[in-house]
Amino acid sequence: MSFTSQEMSSDSLVEVSGRRFRHLKTVLKLKKGDELRLGMIGGRIGRGQIIDESQESCHIQFVLDRNPPVPLPVHLILALPRPKSLPRILHLATNMGVKEITFINTWRVEKPFWSSDYLDQASVEKACRLGLEQAVDTIMPKVNFERRFRPYVEDRLPQICARTCNYLAHPYSQALNQNQILAEIESHQKFCLALGPEGGFIPFEVECLRKAGFRPFSFSQRVLKLEAALPALLSQFTHS
């Protein structure tokens, strides 16, 4: 559970109401005296104890004594998914520790997707914040939207990914070399990981990304939904 610096302005006491109070009571089933982990958005994490409660709110006495979990060293580059999926994807990526996500246009991304309300800053922030809260993380990711494929991939991406290991998930290409990735993680490399839309990147797009320095790999014998592929892939880039 996480709170803003305003909510945590008193240095050891925070009031919880609304959605988070209901989560405490109905999902985590905590009561007076129980402990939980919490954090301050943009700051440190620690532990708290519920010291009193009413029907609608409670007070938590807290100590913030640790840094938030280590970020995942991955810049995600995703074809913009259908709007309804966007909050789920943001939630998943943030939950798993991604700190930079760039949504791009591709041939199979439908035009109307780009005018959805789900791309609004408030909606994006809400989804990211829920993902952080779940992870007891406090560092918000940077989320970018790039509406034009070629200017981004041809002109800017080569610089963005000049110092990272760059992978492109693409069905039926070479299998992911897990030992190589492990070695790259061990030597503290950072990664750019590109994933296509449902139906995949078209060959021209694969070629552009390859020229920008991305190595195509296939990950699974199966065609996975983005909601399955994303956590499955990200877990390969996690230092255990």
**86 makes contact with a second copy (CB under 8 A):** no
Quote the CA–CA distance of 115 and 137 in Å, as a whole number: 30
DSSP track, 117-154: GGGSHHHHHHHHHHHHHHHT---PPEEEEE--HHIIII
One residue of 41, 53, 76, 95 binding a second copy per CB under 8 A: 95
Residues 6 or more apart whose CB falls under 8 angstroms from that of 214 comprise: 161, 166, 167, 168, 192, 194
Classified as helix, coil or strand, 195 is: strand
Nearer residue to a second copy within complex by CB, 100 or 137: 137
Could you say which residues in the range 136-155 bind a second copy, by CB under 8 A? 136-137
For residues 22 to 41, the per-residue mask of contacts with a second copy, x marking binding by CB under 8 A and - elsewhere, is: ----xxxx-------x----
d(CA 137, CA 41): 8
The contact mask relative to a second copy for 196-225 (x = CB under 8 A, - = no) is: --xx--------------------xxxxxx
Q: And the tokens for 239?
A: 């230092």
Residue 134 engages a second copy in binding (rule: CB under 8 A)? yes
Q: Is 85 in the site for a second copy (CB under 8 A)?
A: no
**Contact set with a second copy (CB under 8 A):** 26-29, 37, 69-70, 88, 91-92, 95-97, 108, 110, 131, 134-137, 175-176, 178, 198-199, 220-225, 227-236, 238, 240
